[in-house]
Structure formats: structure tokens, C-alpha cells
């Protein structure tokens, strides 16, 4: 069956987007940005793989007659994308960082530009046509080596929680300055390449400068007034959207007619739109999915069709490709790192900035396609530079982990609390909030565990934002991304902050983006020196259990005790049931009950379940219980029951005892075991009508109850019994 031109285009869309998203899942799992998957998808669909393995399929899917259509649609996608890049450039990034950012960014342009221009002397006879002026080739090689991928860098910083760190703030500022400078240089180079005479190039440059001045002085004030009227997404009606798109297209057309390419006009128009007033955010939200998900993958496919790995068919070509990668890394990484060290950063921070500035990604591909369209570079050099862009972008994440590990960032976020030499260490709680329903119950538990002023304590509420592919400034400008959520805003943190405010409990909110929630919870707990991590729980999807998934990973990695709060309307803690058979997790649960008794005066019932087949007698495992809770003190009860099923015994006691909370240790005897997948029944959680606190002590100690009351005990148990941690 022969497809029409429209049918073929739809098939191309389906194949390109489908393969990009499929590879994107793998890249996300590897911690890599989506742009690498999209570039690889384009290369795999081109002559480098599909055309090599199955040329008939490639000719059928991408016949030569469809190439112009792909190119035109991809150019429309690029115009929208460059507009979005301009929207992301926020002048507020430069505040307080002018000197260092200018020095680092300009050094990161000059150094690779010089190395690229120097390499052009050796590459010119081999990798360019004789008809190309040598000056144009040298200038283009220098600019191509100098590019930093601002959008990819912004996304990496956001996902790695570096955006508001010292390193991230400096790197994103340098990338913004770098982007503007490099694109101005590229516009100048394009004007020279397109000009037939030096006077024409000079005239093109003057007209371009005049156009930039007109946009800044004439169009920007109008956009500021327009943005003031758009306070939210609802304010961006179709009339305003149509006017904005018309101005965008007119700006792109103007720069194309001037002679410096339409992409510069779209980038400039996005850059001058004020970031206050809501217009920039609303435009990004409207356009990003169409540009990035639908149209931009066509550009990668078109670039892939032009990338021919088979052209690197000699050791000499591969050696030149390796040299390009080496020079690119030396120029960007070396220049940025040395400049950062010179301006006052530590060697670790300077190395991280160098790695981040070496990210090229999509922006490099845009520059390379311009060079190939203009005839400045050959297909062979185009392929080498594409490989360089992939390698430098791929190296960013793993090198960043080595040079600036997450543990270092967690310590940077930690704020030490000074204590007098004789002051007792406070009991530190870290509440992990995934949704708003767990907030009130956590506040109630926090009140009971901390007591009054006679029990020093610190409470932190942590909310992790899952990675998003939205424009980075949309995340930067939210209160959650700054770690400063407000109670008057909707969101998971609002209920716990509001409830704590009503009850007079001081809770310090923390929030940031995380691609590794379990590890980030453990790192934050370690940085804050938390004694107990409390995870919120809600009714999960089919097949998921309380102690599976992220909870299992936190329990496996955490150095502090971990508790999972199953909140079924916990509004007060007056009577607590503690099932106890002597395991270390039971001792951790007992330590929390001891603290609840000490801080809030709750009534505690300790339930010991024995087998009906065993002779009745005093259980030796209750020795520790009586040492912690002397029988002379009121409000503590001991129950020993014989039952074939410990789970049923706990459920029966919980149903008839009038308790508010069941504090139970993880253990097979209670039907509660940590596991990655939902393979266990967890009947106590499923069938209990009461709120539960499921506790696990992660230290690998033996389950034998020590003679000393605090030997082998959890931090909560040691603090409750007055033993130093």
C-alpha cells in the first residue's frame, strides 16, 4: 500500500516520537537528560544504523522527497524552541554574581574558541570544501566549540538539586551569559558567511544591532505592559496568544531578512519578554509540549539523517574525532574551572562548574546544522562534532556525581545548631510528606514525641518534587523549589505547616526536586542528624504495600530509625499498644513508646504473644520492658497472650482495647517485612482500624535482648532512657 505524503508524515511522527520516548526511559534510568535519547533516536533512524542494516526500510520511511518537509517542520519547531530558551533567560540570575559570572563565562568562550580556531588550521584542508573561505571556517569552528547547552544544563541542575546551591547558581548564570555571547558571535559569523562582500557583512551587523536596540527600547516596554495584564494562565486568552505568536514570527522573519537566520529573532523575542507578571510562565506552559514533544524530535531525526558514522571509516578520522572531543573538553572544562578557581571558588566547586559548562546537547546540534546548511563544514566534520556533543553531554552527570557528590550537597544544605557544652542533644524528627493527607497525623505524632520545652527537639518536614520536563524557570520560581513552602498555597506541605502553626509546633519545611527520593531522604536525614525518619503512607496502587518501593529503599539505606505512619484519623495519642517479642525492631518500637510515655504521658500497653504449645511462664524478652517501665509507675500495662497467630492476637487486642495508636516493629512474626515488591499480605496494616506506626531499626545487630537496657538500642530508645547517643 502506497502512503500519501500526509500519511507518510504521520508515520514518521509516530516512529520518531515513539523511539525517542522509548530511549528516553532508558536514559532517565541512567540519570541522563532526554536530549541524548532524542539525538540517539535520530542517529539510529538514519544511515548510521537503519540505513546500514536495512537500507530499504530507511528509504521507505525517509525517502528523499520527504526530507524538505521534515526540514521545514523541524525549523518551525526550532523557532518555537529558541523562543522558549529566550524565555528561560532571567536577568535576575545575574544579581550579585556579575563579576564572577562574566569572568567564567567569557573564559569558557575564549578558551574553546581559541582551541577550535587553532584546530581549524589542521582540519581545513581535510574537512572543508576549498570554496569555503578559511576565515569563515575558522570562526565557525571557534563558535561551535564555545556553545553551552543552557536548557540541558538548567534541567540537570534542577534534577540534581543544585539550582539554588552556590555551584548551581553560578553555573546557570555563566551559562546564561555564555549563551547570549555565543549566539551574538554566531550571528556575526553567519552574517559574514552569507555576505558576498566585507561591506555587506558590516552593513548586516549594523542593521542587526539596530534591530536589537529597537526590540529592547520599543518592543520590550509594550511586552511589559502586556505581561502585567496576564497574571495567570487564565489571563492568557486566545487574542493575547495570537498577538504574541504573530510578534514572534515577525521577529524571526526580520532576522532572516537581515541575514542572521530566523532562530536569532525568536531567541531575542523570548529573551526580552519580562519574566514578571506571569506572561513568560503562561507562554512556556502553552507552547512547550507542542515544541518539545511534537516538533523538536523531527529536528533530531533530520539531524540523524545527516549524521553518517560510516564516514569515520579510517583511523585518521577517528583520531581527529578524538582530538575534537579532547579540545572541546579542555577548552570548556579547563577554562571554566580555572576561571572559577581564580574568582574564589574551591577546587571542588570549580571542577563542578567546569563539568557543567562542558554540557553542549541540543544547542550544539542547532549550530552544527546551521554550519552544514551554509556549507561551512563537511558531512564528515558534522558527524565528528555530533559525536563530540553527545560525549560531552553524556559525561556531565557521572562526572558531576564524582566531583560534587550528593552527600556534599546535603552537608551544604545542613544548618548546624550551636549547643552549649552541657545542653542535651535535641531529638530530631524528619517527616517525609508525599501528599497533604498525612500532614495532620504527623503533627499529632510530632507533638507526642517532642513534648514541651523540657524535651529539646527539632522537627523537619521534607517534600520531594518528582522530576519534571517543564521549563526550568517554572520550577525555580515556585516556593517549593526554593525550599520555602507557604501554608496559604495549595500543595502537600500546606496542611502540615498550617496544622503545626495552629498547635504551636515548630516545623521547618524543606522541599526540592529529586530523581532519587529514597537516597535523598537518607542524605537529608544524615545531614540533619535525624534520630527518626517518619514516612507518610496512603492507600497505594494495586499490588503495592506499606514496606515496598521507596519505603523499602529508605529502610535499607538509612542510618537512623525509620517509621511508617499509617494514618487512620490520628488526632490524639493517649493510649498506645506495642506488640513486643524482643527483636531489635521491637526494641525500636519500645523506645518510641518510652518516649511517648516520657513526653506526652500516654498510657502504654505492651503485648507479648506466645505459642499455645509452649509452657506458660514469665517471658525472658520482657526483662527489658520492665526495666524501662517499672511496675510501680502507673500508665504501663503488660499483657501475655497465647495465640497461634501473632497477627490475629494484635488485631484482636487493637480492636477491643480502646487504643489510639499501634507501634509495631518490622518482623515476620507480625507479618511485616521490608521488601522491594508487593509480595506480602501485611494483614495488620490492612485489617486494623487504628493508626499504626511501623518501626524498623536498620543497624544489623542480633535480636538477642541485652542485659543492659540501652545496649543495642535505637536512638529513640537511648534518648528516652537517658543514655547518650
**Dihedrals phi, psi of 349, to nearest 5 degrees:** -65, -40
CATH of 425-721, one of 3.40.50.620, 3.40.50.12370, 3.20.20.210, 3.20.20.70: 3.40.50.12370
User: Beta partners for 577?
Assistant: 605, 662
Fold match flag (5-61+69-408 vs 425-721): no
Residues 6+ apart with CB under 8 A from 462: 430, 431, 432, 433, 510, 511, 521, 524
173 and 421 Cβ atoms separated by less than 8 Å: no
| Local confidence band at 616 (pLDDT 50, 70, 90 cut-offs) | low
> How far is Cα 682 from Cα 610, in angstroms, rounded to an integer?
20
| Residue-level pLDDT at 723 | 39
pLDDT over threshold 70, residue 545: no
**Each residue's pLDDT tens digit, 372-420:** 888 888 999 999 999 999 999 899 888 988 887 766 665 555 555 454 5
> How far is Cα 375 from Cα 131, in angstroms, rounded to an integer?
9
The one-character DSSP state at 567 is -
**Each residue's pLDDT tens digit, 111-130:** 999 999 999 988 887 888 77
Global model pTM greater than 0.85? no
**Each residue's pLDDT tens digit, 416-445:** 545 455 556 788 899 888 776 667 788 888
| Local confidence band at 600 (pLDDT 50, 70, 90 cut-offs) | confident
Residues in the chain: 725
Q: How far is CA 628 from the centre of its chain?
A: 45
| Local confidence band at 37 (pLDDT 50, 70, 90 cut-offs) | confident
Residue spans of the domains in the chain: they are 5-61+69-408, 425-721
Lowest average pLDDT, out of 145-159, 165-179, 467-481, 592-606, goes to 467-481
For 15, 55, 283, the CA distances from 289, given in Å and listed in that order, are 18, 32, 11
| Residue-level pLDDT at 675 | 57
pLDDT over threshold 80, residue 704: no
- Output 323 or 616, whichever has higher pLDDT: 323
- Dmax (CA) for the chain in angstroms is 106
* Residue-by-residue DSSP string for 117-163: HHHHHHHHHHHS-TTS-HHHHHHHHHHHHH---HHHHHHHHHHTT-T
Residues 6+ apart with CB under 8 A from 680: 545, 547, 671, 672, 673
Domain boundaries 5-61+69-408, CATH class: mainly alpha
When the pLDDT of each residue in the chain is averaged and rounded to a whole number, the result is 80
Lowest average pLDDT, out of 12-21, 234-243, 486-495, 620-629, goes to 486-495
pLDDT over threshold 70, residue 351: yes
| Local confidence band at 709 (pLDDT 50, 70, 90 cut-offs) | very low
pLDDT over threshold 70, residue 146: yes
298: left (phi over 0), alpha (psi -120 to 50) or beta: alpha
Residues 6+ apart with CB under 8 A from 588: 561, 665, 695, 696, 697, 713, 714, 716, 717
The SS3 assignment for 408 reads helix
| Local confidence band at 717 (pLDDT 50, 70, 90 cut-offs) | very low
Of all residues in the chain, what percent carry a pLDDT higher than 70? 81
75 and 256 Cβ atoms separated by less than 8 Å: no
| Local confidence band at 623 (pLDDT 50, 70, 90 cut-offs) | low
Residues 6+ apart with CB under 8 A from 397: 31, 32, 33, 156, 160
Amino acid at each position: 500500500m502506497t502512503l500519501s505524503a500526509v500519511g507518510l508524515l504521520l508515520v514518521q511522527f509516530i516512529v520518531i516520537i515513539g523511539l525517542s520516548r522509548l530511549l528516553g526511559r532508558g536514559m532517565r534510568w541512567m540519570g541522563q537528560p532526554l536530549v541524548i535519547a532524542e539525538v540517539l533516536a535520530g542517529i539510529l533512524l538514519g544511515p548510521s544504523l537503519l540505513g546500514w542494516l536495512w537500507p530499504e526500510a530507511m528509504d521507505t520511511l525517509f525517502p528523499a522527497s520527504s526530507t524538505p518537509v521534515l526540514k521545514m517542520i523541524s525549523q518551525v519547531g526550532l523557532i518555537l524552541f529558541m523562543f522558549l530558551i529566550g524565555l528561560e533567560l532571567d536577568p535576575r540570575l545575574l544579581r550579585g554574581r556579575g563579576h564572577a559570572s562574566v569572568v567564567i563565562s567569557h573564559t569558557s568562550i575564549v578558551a574553546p574558541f581559541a582551541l577550535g580556531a587553532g584546530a581549524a588550521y589542521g582540519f581545513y584542508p581535510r574537512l572543508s570544501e576549498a570554496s569555503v573561505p578559511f576565515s569563515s571556517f575558522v570562526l565557525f569552528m571557534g563558535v561551535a566549540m564555545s556553545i553551552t547547552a543552557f536548557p540541558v544544563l538548567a534541567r540537570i541542575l534542577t534534577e540534581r538539586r543544585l539550582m539554588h546551591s552556590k555551584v548551581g547558581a553560578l553555573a546557570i548564570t555563566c551559562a546564561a551569559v555564555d549563551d547570549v555571547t555565543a549566539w551574538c558571535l554566531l550571528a556575526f559569523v553567519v552574517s559574514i558567511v552569507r555576505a558576498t562582500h566585507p561591506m555587506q557583512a558590516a552593513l548586516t551587523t549594523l542593521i542587526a544591532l539596530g534591530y536589537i536596540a529597537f526590540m529592547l527600547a520599543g518592543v520590550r516596554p509594550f511586552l511589559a505592559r502586556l505581561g502585567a495584564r496576564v497574571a495567570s494562565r487564565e489571563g492568557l486568552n486566545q487574542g493575547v496568544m495570537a498577538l504574541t505568536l504573530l510578534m514572534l514570527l515577525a521577529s524571526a522573519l526580520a532576522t532572516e531578512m537581515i541575514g542572521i537566520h530566523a532562530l536569532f529573532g525568536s531567541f531575542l523575542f523570548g529573551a526580552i519578554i519580562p519574566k514578571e507578571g506571569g506572561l513568560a510562565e503562561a507562554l512556556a506552559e502553552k507552547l512547550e509540549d507542542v515544541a518539545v514533544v511534537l516538533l523538536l524530535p523531527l529536528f533530531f531525526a533530520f539531524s540523524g539523517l545527516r549524521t553518517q558514522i560510516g564516514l569515520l571509516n579510517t583511523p585518521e578520522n577517528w583520531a581527529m574525532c578524538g582530538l575534537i572531543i579532547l579540545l572541546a573538553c579542555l577548552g570548556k572544562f579547563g577554562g571554566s574551572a580555572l576561571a572559577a578557581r581564580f574568582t574564589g571558588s574551591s577546587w571542588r566547586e570549580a571542577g563542578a562548574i567546569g563539568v557543567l559548562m562542558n554540557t553542549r546537547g541540543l544547542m550544539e546540534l542547532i549550530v552544527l546544522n546551521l554550519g552544514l546548511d551554509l556549507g561551512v563544514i563537511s558531512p564528515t566534520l558534522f558527524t565528528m562534532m555530533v559525536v563530540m556533543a553527545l560525549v560531552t553531554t553524556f559525561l556531565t552527570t557521572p562526572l558531576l556525581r564524582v566531583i560534587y557528590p550528593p552527600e556534599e550537597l546535603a552537608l551544604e544544605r545542613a544548618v548546624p545548631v550551636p549547643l552549649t557544652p552541657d545542653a542535651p542533644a535535641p531529638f530530631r524528627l524528619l517527616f517525609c510528606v508525599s501528599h497533604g493527607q498525612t500532614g495532620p497525623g504527623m503533627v499529632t505524632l510530632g507533638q507526642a514525641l517532642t513534648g514541651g520545652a523540657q524535651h529539646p527537639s527539632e522537627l523537619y518536614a521534607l517534600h520531594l518534587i518528582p522530576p519534571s520536563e517543564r521549563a526550568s524557570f517554572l520550577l525555580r520560581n515556585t516556593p517549593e523549589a526554593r525550599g520555602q513552602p507557604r501554608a496559604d498555597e495549595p500543595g502537600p506541605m500546606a496542611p502540615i505547616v498550617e496544622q503545626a502553626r495552629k498547635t504551636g509546633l515548630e516545623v521547618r519545611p524543606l522541599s526540592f526536586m529529586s530523581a532519587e527520593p529514597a537516597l535523598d531522604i537518607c542524605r537529608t536525614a544524615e545531614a540533619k542528624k535525624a534520630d527518626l525518619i517518619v514516612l507518610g503512607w496512603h492507600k497505594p496502587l494495586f499490588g503495592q504495600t506499606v514496606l515496598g518501593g521507596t519505603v523499602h529503599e529508605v529502610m535499607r539505606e538509612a542510618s537512623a530509625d525509620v517509621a511508617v505512619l499509617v494514618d487512620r484519623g490520628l488526632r490524639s495519642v493517649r493510649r498506645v499498644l506495642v506488640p513486643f517479642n524482643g527483636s531489635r525492631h521491637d526494641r525500636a518500637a519500645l523506645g518510641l513508646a518510652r518516649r511517648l510515655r516520657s513526653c506526652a504521658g500516654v498510657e502504654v500497653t505492651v503485648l507479648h504473644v506466645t505459642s499455645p504449645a509452649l509452657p506458660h511462664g514469665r517471658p525472658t524478652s520482657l526483662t527489658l520492658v520492665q526495666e524501662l517501665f517499672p511496675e510501680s509507675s502507673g500508665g504501663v500495662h503488660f499483657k501475655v497472650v497465647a495465640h497461634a497467630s501473632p497477627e490475629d492476637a494484635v488485631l484482636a487486642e487493637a480492636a477491643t482495647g480502646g487504643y489510639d495508636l499501634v507501634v509495631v516493629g518490622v518482623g515476620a512474626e507480625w507479618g511485616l517485612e521490608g521488601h522491594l515488591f508487593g509480595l506480602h499480605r501485611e494483614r495488620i496494616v490492612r485489617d486494623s482500624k487504628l493508626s499504626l506506626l511501623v518501626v524498623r531499626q536498620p543497624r544489623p545487630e542480633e535480636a538477642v535482648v541485652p542485659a543492659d537496657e540501652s545496649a543495642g538500642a535505637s536512638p529513640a530508645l537511648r534518648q528516652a532512657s537517658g543514655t547518650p547517643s
